[in-house]
Amino acid sequence: MTEPELAGQVALVTGASYGLGRAITEELLKRGAKVMLTDISDRVEATTAELAATGHAVAHTRLDVTDRASVDAAVRETVSRFGRLDIFVNNAGWSKVMKPILELTAEDWDAYMDINIRGNLFCIQSAAEAMIAQGHGGRIIAIASTAACKPYKRAAAYCTSKSAIPMLTKAAALELGEFGITVNCVAPGPTTTETNLAHSSGAIDPKIGEEKRRREALIPLGKNDPVDIATAVAYFASPAARRVTGQMIVVEGGGLLLS
């Protein structure tokens, strides 16, 4: 019987409590990896318990991607618990405040840049240091967005922060390739996650909800399910992607084909 493609591999996933993070975790587990679930939310404990109850090799720890010491501590905990770190998926992100550009505050802007950009930098740095010390390479995967490809109204801070991720990915891939570390990112379009559904329903802002529902109804293949993003992440983590680095996979059902 053939071993699962990620057997013996250890992954750390940020923002793993629910939504994309949970789906990514479940996909990596299905493919044989052991996973450290991390999150700033206490929900990570219950999620980990549910997955452990099904027989998966999982653990959890708190992680705040805006705090380099917190990221380092989570990486150390992963290596201590499972003996190594092969795959780091930085899924944690911020998208819950959408305002016209003239209404953005410095605090709004800083929250996006701290979580979506600085957090990615800290995760790359910490993961790469651990992987270099181990001496057998590794995979670092970030989550961008179709907002890295086109602008959306009332989302200037979100679009700006997400558009920085593909370039940070390329720069890191260029520098870390000599250590056998690949760095890639996945750019989801609208996906049926808790946060996306809150935006689409109008629970966060009724006007934005109406605009999103109208736009999403036109997507040729329809909205993503979380597993669609998870399988793209798993590709970058798989043996099939061993020579793929500095790349972005866009998963969005054809929505970008529309004007």
Domains of the chain: 10-190+224-253 (3.40.50.720)
> For 175-184, what is each residue's pLDDT tens digit?
999 999 999 9
Which amino acid makes up residue 130?
A
Dihedral angle computed from the Cα positions of residues 127, 170, 155 and 88, in that order, rounded to the nearest 10 degrees? -20
Q: Name the stretches of the chain with pLDDT < 50.
A: none
Q: Residue 194, Cβ neighbours under 10 Å: how many?
A: 12
Q: Residue 254, Cβ neighbours under 10 Å: how many?
A: 12
Q: What is the pLDDT of residue 206?
A: 76
Catalytic residue among 18, 112, 152, 158: 158
Which residue shows structure tokens 């800290």? 122
Q: What is the pLDDT of residue 160?
A: 97
CA separation (Å) from 19 to 32, 125, 193, 200, 241?
21, 25, 5, 15, 24
Q: What is the pLDDT of residue 167?
A: 98
Residue 18 is among the residues annotated as catalytic for this protein? no
pTM to 2 decimal places: 0.95
Q: Where are the alpha helices (DSSP H) in 15-85?
A: 19-30, 43-52, 68-82
Residues 163, 147 contacting (CB under 8 angstroms): yes
What is the spatial distance between Cα 38 and Cα 61, in angstroms, rounded to a whole number? 5
Pairing state between β 181-188 and 248-251:
parallel
